[in-house]
Amino acid sequence: MHLVLSPLTVFLERDGFSKIPPLVGDEDFGLDTGQDLTQIAALQAFTCVECGRCTEHCPANNTGKILNPKEIILGTRQYLKEFGPKSAEPLLGKHLSMEAAFQCTTCGACEFQCPVGIQHLPLIVGLRRGAVNTGKWENSHGGELFVTLERQGNSLGFPPSDREKFIEKSGLPYFDGTQDYCLWMGCLGSFDPNGRKILLAFVEVLRHLKISFGVLRQEKCNGDPARRLGNDYLFGELAQSNLEQIREAGVKKMVSICPHCVRTVGVDWKEHGGAVDIEHHSELIARYQDRLPLDRDQQKSMVFHDACYLGRYRGVYDEPRDVIARFGQVVDPPRARERGFCCGGGGGLMFLGEESGKRMNLDRAEELVATGASVVAAACPFCNSMLRDGLAAASQTPPELLDVAQIAAAAIAKKADGV
């Protein structure tokens, strides 16, 4: 049957890579029973050619988790064969595992590799929605994350006043409508020590390039972890609150150090009326790279780690490499670009943790260390946080971990000092 259906799936119009469909009405809770399965999801369940490429590239499956993307699709097929498309039988149960659904990092490797265009991620996130919105998912870490986002407005649980203090201490200007860009700080850029270092390094690059910027007076989490974990109500509350601030400030263009923020703000917020022009900081830096110092240190090798939400989700591979190539020799790990291996932090997993198998960040860190590079270059604060722990566990003398902005800022400072 898949020989007949596969061409239909391949040529059906796509709504974008890993596009999560909006919920329709107050009675739509996601994929809870067979009645909730869309026609495209049912079609794709019978389209799978069982080649296993999705499973081969899945970071969860590669590190000993029970998640198998192929079995998610085939499990849906078995459900439909046994219960039918109008069944009130829960989807998560006999043929589909809740544990597996919540092990996904939403890295997109499965969907990207599928030769017949099956969309695994909308199905997986849909299953999460059904479990969360009907109260079936009971996870202490997930529940704590949702409460933290509701009460504090950020995923790390810090009071908003800590962000204000950091802004004042760092001398960051507030956006007043006259600057070139509004700099979206994000949770990690606002509260995490290493995320703050990346943000301030990017600020130094912006100042060197004479690009004016300002930050919002109030900013909450964009809602990415809530969205990917299936809590659409919480995601909507966060998105609408932020959009109100952005409209009041008169923001036209935004830039962020976080690919997750870029994706969520630029794509997912559209569901709530958002039309924000936002780009990743590596894209902006690459566009002005000719105005950066040129200091190709032939002795310094840098291995670049592709962030899933920058690469597969946004198609940005060359820009960060072009920037760091001005300051050293760039090498790629065996799994790079479209085949890049996830750090393990996406899909809300940075806040849930891994309770089985090998840690994904360790698996990736070992691969990066094996290249012999003296620097691991990243372009995502999620990756930076995950790889920092992974590198420390992978080697007693790990390579230096730096963001693209930190590498550029260090070269700017070096030139200013006349070194």
pLDDT single digits (tens) 154-167: 999 999 999 999 99
Element housing 255 (H / E): strand 253-256
DSSP-assigned beta bridge partners for residue 400 = 375
Reply yes or no on whether the pLDDT at 10 is more than 90. Answer: no
Q: How far, in Å, CA of 45 to CA of 90, rounded?
A: 17
Strands (DSSP E) contained in 297-362 are 301-304, 329-331
pLDDT of residue 298: 64
Please give the average per-residue pLDDT across 52-64, as a whole number. Answer: 98
> Nearest-CA neighbor of 234 among 221, 245, 243?
221
Both ends of the chain: CA-CA distance in Å? 67
33: Cβ–Cβ under 8 A, 6 or more apart, which residues? 87, 88, 89, 90, 91, 130
Share of the chain above pLDDT 90, in %: 90
Q: How far, in Å, CA of 336 to CA of 185, rounded?
A: 27
Please give the average per-residue pLDDT across 220-226, as a whole number. Answer: 98
Site of tokens 């990243």: 378
Reply yes or no on whether the pLDDT at 334 is more than 80. Answer: yes
Q: Which CATH architecture has domain 157-286?
A: 3-Layer(aba) Sandwich (3.40)
**What is the spatial order of strands in the sheet that 213-214 belongs to?**
213-214, 181-184, 253-256, 277-280
pLDDT of residue 14: 53
Q: How far, in Å, CA of 303 to CA of 331, rounded?
A: 5
Q: How far, in Å, CA of 362 to CA of 386, rounded?
A: 9
Q: How far, in Å, CA of 138 to CA of 131, rounded?
A: 9
pLDDT of residue 323: 97
pLDDT of residue 2: 45
Q: How confident is the model at residue 419 (pLDDT cuts 50, 70, 90)?
A: low
Q: Which CATH architecture has domain 294-416?
A: 3-Layer(aba) Sandwich (3.40)
List C-alpha distances in Å: 220 to 169, 172, 185, 234, 250.
20, 17, 9, 12, 17
The residue ranges of every structural domain in the chain are 2-133, 157-286, 294-416
> Nearest-CA neighbor of 381 among 256, 287, 203?
256
Q: How confident is the model at residue 322 (pLDDT cuts 50, 70, 90)?
A: very high
pLDDT of residue 409: 97
pLDDT of residue 12: 53
Q: What is the pLDDT of residues 337-373, one digit of tens each?
A: 999 999 999 999 999 978 899 999 999 999 999 999 9
pTM over 0.85: yes
Average pLDDT of the residues of the chain: 94
Q: Do domains 157-286 and 294-416 have the same CATH topology?
A: yes
Q: What is the pLDDT of residues 95-152, one digit of tens each?
A: 999 999 999 999 999 999 999 999 999 999 999 999 999 999 999 999 999 999 999 9
Q: How confident is the model at residue 85 (pLDDT cuts 50, 70, 90)?
A: very high
Please give the average per-residue pLDDT across 155-183, as a whole number. Answer: 98
Q: How far, in Å, CA of 98 to CA of 132, rounded?
A: 11
pLDDT of residue 3: 46
Q: How far, in Å, CA of 344 to CA of 335, rounded?
A: 15
- Whether domain 2-133 has CATH 1.10.1060: the reply is yes
Q: Which of 11-25, 321-335, 349-363 has the lowest mean pLDDT?
A: 11-25
Q: How far, in Å, CA of 47 to CA of 118, rounded?
A: 8
* Beta carbons of 256 and 227 less than 8 angstroms apart: no
